[in-house]
Structure 1
């Protein structure tokens, strides 16, 4: 977590030349974050190094969300050639830790996140690509591409695609919305002294697409990084349906998109271990497999569930992978 070489000049041009730079966080991508500190103010420096990362989608969605009245970080300065962006600092009160510590009410906090989604979904979507069926297939295929070989399985990849194609036909046709795609408790900051949507500081939305409104609910309520109680998930689904009135097939779509997302995550987390040398993501696999098993039990997933039963035996599920190191 050494600051990029271009950071001092960038900060000087942005009017932050006397600031101290401290490591803040890295993530599953090549992006890194630093806190930029002066006596009376502070900001966050995003390092999104080209050619691996492009900060322009993040900047575009941040400005879109801010224009709609949501709390995305203000863009204070940018240097696209070096992949540097100076952002508003939302502080340290992340939803995940605040809920886990009991510092905020779990149900009330999740209710606020659901209300934010319902409000976002009332607005026309951002100018970003669609969450196409081709992309959904590609993501679901990460499980057969990465995880199945890692557990010693040779599986029917063509049958997997066919099963998903049948199931995707059951996703209900509702108006498309902005899908943030990584909307969960580690990407929401709880901002002091604010209420309503302004209290929820949104992060990590650079991969946003236009898609189904159930997807971000799945991301929040089947969170790969923390256990969301099943009763909370049920309550929040009822609350979203009360606010948004999405139609009678919504829960079918929620289960389908839940299974698709969880299959994708299993594949990605296996890849992060094998390809990128990040074994800590294996610790999340038992939780994600648990969500996936629940989704596969839904009648709308019958063909995909049958494929799993035929190709992945019970003793190869559940995320038992361990890094040999």
Structure 2
């Protein structure tokens, strides 16, 4: 990858080549957990635009472009691709707004209308027939994600290598969680459907904008509803979470999605949540040590609390719960 200064110059030239003549300025918009960064372009007399910077030696733009086209065809509010340079890893896109739904709520807005709107759009997303090229959320990926927890949180952060009874408990829980995920009805999954990746409607739009969808796949139907109500960056009262899940379940049934009856669905939510929370703890630990992004590690207690809310309900996962309680942060109880 070229030096940062050279890359910024290349980004500036890319924008200049695809905007009408005139002055513009480029300011940071956001960055994700990986290698992508996003920049907002302000040009005189024109709507703002977003540039994705995805270094081609680190990430590919192809999945983002393909999934964006898929979701747009289905009527979802996703960024419009205005120009691209795949060799350099730049995309010029429409701007869906400066404040995410999460930021809007953190500024004092009621979360309920935002989550209600997100549920409606999620059902629309899940009703799409997944194309053949969309990858499966299969055993290999589920296991790879789960292994981030012992590899990064336990081994790197805690200095613990599992052996004996602890290793047996982990392997048993790992197999149970993967099997449960694979047994769920399979639909199109966003894989990070939460308020940080949703935008309040702006302009002529009347539905939330959807971002960060490049990792979409075909996987467990309960994954995205769980991600929405057990957010990575905000926690809600248990009663509200239950109400939102019941709302999703009713709408999914009305939309003829292959969602099971309430009780097995509620179990599916819990079990895929355990998988996701363990994965996210591993991811947040990895970006701390590998990428020098420590702020995410401070959010890991939230995920341990999520885990301890549900693990006592399932005695078959008692070994996992005991393991986690020994190595959880002190403020996760």
Do both proteins adopt the same fold according to a TM-score greater than 0.5, normalized to the shorter chain?
A: yes
Q: 1:237 to 1:312 in 2, by over 3 A?
A: closer
What aligned pairs does 1:205-244 form with structure 2 within 5 A after superposition? 205-244=213-252
Give the superposition deviation at 1:218. Answer: 1.4
Query: 1:250 and 1:183 mapped to 2: Cα distance?
Result: 18
Partner of 2:14: 10
Partner of 2:112: 107
Partner of 1:318: 329
Give the superposition deviation at 1:307. Answer: 2.9
What is the DSSP-based 3-state SS (H/G/I as helix, E as strand, rest coil) of the residue aligned with 1:5?
A: helix
Q: 1:88 to 1:72 in 2, by over 3 A?
A: same
| Unaligned segments of structure 1, at least 5 residues | none
What is the DSSP-based 3-state SS (H/G/I as helix, E as strand, rest coil) of the residue aligned with 2:9?
A: coil
Which of 257, 260, 267 is the equivalent residue of 2:282? 267
Q: Is the 8 A contact 2:192 2:213 kept in 1?
A: yes
What aligned pairs does 1:197-212 form with structure 2 within 5 A after superposition? 198-212=206-220
Query: 1:125 and 1:295 mapped to 2: Cα distance?
Result: 31
Q: Is the 8 A contact 1:31 1:49 kept in 2?
A: yes
Which of 117, 123, 127 is the equivalent residue of 1:122? 127
What aligned pairs does 1:21-60 form with structure 2 within 5 A after superposition? 21-40=26-45, 41-60=47-66
Please give the per-residue CA displacement for 1:197-249, whole angstroms capped at 9, x wherever unaligned.
x4201111111111112111111111111122222210111011101121122
Which of 79, 82, 87 is the equivalent residue of 2:88? 82
Query: 2:186 and 2:15 mapped to 1: Cα distance?
Result: 39
Give the superposition deviation at 1:137. Answer: 1.1
Q: Is the 8 A contact 1:9 1:17 kept in 2?
A: no
Using the size of structure 1 for normalisation, the TM-score is 0.90
Query: 1:89 and 1:54 mapped to 2: Cα distance?
Result: 21
Aligned pairs, number: 314
Give the superposition deviation at 1:54. Answer: 0.8
Partner of 1:185: 195
Query: 1:227 and 1:139 mapped to 2: Cα distance?
Result: 22
Which of 144, 155, 158 is the equivalent residue of 1:151? 158
Q: Is the 8 A contact 1:36 1:43 kept in 2?
A: yes
Query: 2:191 and 2:179 mapped to 1: Cα distance?
Result: 21
Q: Greater helix share, 1 or 2?
A: 2
Which of 66, 88, 97 is the equivalent residue of 2:103? 97
Q: Is the 8 A contact 1:170 1:252 kept in 2?
A: no
Q: Is the 8 A contact 1:62 1:72 kept in 2?
A: yes
Partner of 2:272: 257
What is the DSSP-based 3-state SS (H/G/I as helix, E as strand, rest coil) of the residue aligned with 2:218?
A: strand
What is the DSSP-based 3-state SS (H/G/I as helix, E as strand, rest coil) of the residue aligned with 2:8?
A: coil
Partner of 2:297: 282
Q: Is the 8 A contact 2:177 2:272 kept in 1?
A: no
